[in-house]
Structure 1
């Protein structure tokens, strides 16, 4: 057969191997969700044991986010150059080692360095799995699968948060949270090695030695007939580089998506990083604060799943922009909740629902905006530079709290990120958003 294997996968129903690949990527993002939030669950214990003030704690909370920014840009580009599979495996090893090293940290500086290095692996994992899921999905399910992949982050935060809260209640030792993450990350390495093949689209775009044989082996594993030859390369090959992302046809999309992601993720990580400390400062203990953060991640998960389902029926751009605007209104309700666990949990869940729907809704758009040769690079650049917002968010919020800002004032200031993000989404070229529906 000479049919393009990419067209075959796009048109055919999802087969078992494709479902396994998507499920594994979701599980890897679940690890990301727990690994990123481990420092949030541990933050009250760290502050108490080491006498860390809020401003310093904000910097510690941001270190793995800075690492994620670097990892998304650098390792996303590497995934386009050497392939998705080896990149994912390398990131997984870095995550496991980093979580274990956090249990041995003896001060703020050491923990900050370890969290930065762990963040590099997490950031590279996110951009690589996003590309992998898009490339193993058919046209009908691509938007949903990409959204579910990102929803894996919230799933990991919820399940890991429940376990972390129990560990903290039983042991009182914040290091146990990182040990849990190290064990879970290490357990995923053999599964990823055995069941994640290289992306067919990546092989066709890169054309390494033996590419045809590798494409055919994967096609047979999926349940499709092998092909006699690879599809012809494009007349003008796209080099995976930052210069290409800002070249003709991609510059406007890259700029708008990067600004939107930066602003929205700044808003998102205000909740993810500061909720436990906010609740503890109201007089509740660390396990109760962890419960409120779990409620937020239930909202995150619900928002991610709903916008993924909606993307199969409705235009994504107005859905995403609307969710971002609603998140601004919802965060004001959280700011007025007061010292009541029920109200805090409900309002933070509502706010997280809309805020994360805005974040997750951008990923199907990213998958459509860039071709396979640039998909991990484009996704990695947008979320990598955008992750600067995730690193800046906790620092800005910490400075506002330290200067005497009320919960409502700080929440509204951080919520301005959602308004800016919505504006950027509405300014996207119509031909880009028209492909998402």
Structure 2
């Protein structure tokens, strides 16, 4: 669980690295917000494709092997981004980074659900989800206190004679730091993360019993003497199987589009907060601190929200978090002259908006049986990433058309996403679907 939270934190930093770097990119290349929005959305577009393509691989080839592949892709994307010489090149490398992040999210989500008990799963998912903003917090402190602070001497990052040298104070140092940290996670996953028993039980490869017992031993559980007879049809989950099932289709589509709309609002703050504050006259490190406080709010809000889910289930708390998030974004849009007010406004937006994300992730974990969990989650996240990817582009276009001074108007328009997300959470037949899934858990979807 700790490693899954850590991997999710890594995803959080890698996604937000472009937001921390945004003022420096804008200053060096002189691009408008509309063009910056395209850069900021690139990894989010990649995450959508990665969630579907690489997320499905986690069900077919294993959670662990998929995580290792995703880490390699993320490392390469971050490394190449730091050396980009233009907007098009940087956009391409951020898209590749997003492919790895999307697949990683689907795989780690499945491992978290399969490594926790039914009674504690909501809390486990809440802890897992808050790893994402925790990564933003750690990255924010590194950016504002170290990476974005100019230094005359080159800095060496590595062990012994192996490493890289770079100058602090440049937006490039943010991506380079992310590449090194991502690469460092590869040996940890190889050595410390076992494949889950649920994966072997669902796929039933040759020697399934021995593989399940080795996995159970890694989790400090007793071995089993036999496994249930395999269903008549092999479990080969496909997105089309999930969408064709009349009991799963409403849940899948409502969660997918609800999550998509909510991320329109969610990523508006995460991607544009630093640039908005920097444009009001604050330095690059000070502007970056606003996003750090936003992620602190997201971590605290997500953690506390897990307790609400345990007592009141999913729907009510998630809808309430969406509504309060809308109010917080509107207040952020009023603009502030003091850095402390900007930080507090950003804190409140993510406190509530990330709490709603926890609600969605808890619904994902309950929405699919083990043999289709990564595929189903990957599909929902993939559709949801359309909202995430569109958010910076839409916001950048609105700023270009309405003017940077119309922050409140842009913010109110971007709030519509969370409102629609709350409506779809209210409409989704989650309780009935859970009852159906209990019966479906031991057989493939026709």
Residues 317 and 433 of structure 1 are in contact (CA less than 8 Å); yes or no, is this contact kept in structure 2? no
Instruction: Please list, as runs of the form range in 1=range in 2, the aligned pairs for 1:165-180 lying within 5 A after superposition.
Output: 165-166=144-145, 167-170=147-150, 171-180=168-177
User: Hey, what does 1:76 align to over in structure 2?
Assistant: 55
Instruction: Please list, as runs of the form range in 1=range in 2, the aligned pairs for 1:14-413 lying within 5 A after superposition.
Output: 22-166=1-145, 167-170=147-150, 171-234=168-231, 238-248=235-245, 249-405=247-403, 406-413=406-413
Question: What CA distance in whole angstroms lies between the structure 1 residues aligned with 2:44 and 2:91?
Answer: 11
Question: What CA distance in whole angstroms lies between the structure 2 residues aligned with 1:47 and 1:291?
Answer: 18
Q: How many residues align?
A: 415
SS at match of 1:152: helix
Residues 254 and 382 of structure 1 are in contact (CA less than 8 Å); yes or no, is this contact kept in structure 2? yes
Residues 315 and 434 of structure 1 are in contact (CA less than 8 Å); yes or no, is this contact kept in structure 2? no
User: Hey, what does 2:418 align to over in structure 1?
Assistant: 418
Question: What CA distance in whole angstroms lies between the structure 2 residues aligned with 1:224 and 1:282?
Answer: 56
Between 1:424-433 and 1:104-113, the stretch displaced more is 424-433
Could you tell me the TM-score, scaled by structure 1's length? 0.92
**CA displacement, residues 387-429 of structure 1 (integer Å, 9 cap, x when unaligned):** 0101100011001111125111111111111110000001111
Tell me by how many angstroms 1:217 deviates. Answer: 1.0
**CA displacement, residues 220-274 of structure 1 (integer Å, 9 cap, x when unaligned):** 2323221122222345555311111212221101110011100011111000000
**CA displacement, residues 281-338 of structure 1 (integer Å, 9 cap, x when unaligned):** 1111110110111111111111111112222222211000110111111111111132
Question: What CA distance in whole angstroms lies between the structure 2 residues aligned with 1:365 and 1:432?
Answer: 13
Q: Pairwise CA RMSD of aligned residues?
A: 1.5
Distance 1:242-1:303 versus aligned 2 partners, 3 A rule: same
Residues 148 and 170 of structure 2 are in contact (CA less than 8 Å); yes or no, is this contact kept in structure 1? yes
Residues 80 and 202 of structure 1 are in contact (CA less than 8 Å); yes or no, is this contact kept in structure 2? yes
User: Hey, what does 1:13 align to over in structure 2?
Assistant: none
SS at match of 1:246: helix
Tell me by how many angstroms 1:96 deviates. Answer: 1.2
Residues 46 and 95 of structure 2 are in contact (CA less than 8 Å); yes or no, is this contact kept in structure 1? yes
Residues 194 and 218 of structure 2 are in contact (CA less than 8 Å); yes or no, is this contact kept in structure 1? no
Residues 337 and 347 of structure 1 are in contact (CA less than 8 Å); yes or no, is this contact kept in structure 2? no
Could you tell me the TM-score, scaled by structure 2's length? 0.90
Distance 1:379-1:430 versus aligned 2 partners, 3 A rule: closer
Residues 335 and 407 of structure 2 are in contact (CA less than 8 Å); yes or no, is this contact kept in structure 1? no
Structure 2 unaligned residues grouped into runs of 5+: 151-167, 438-446
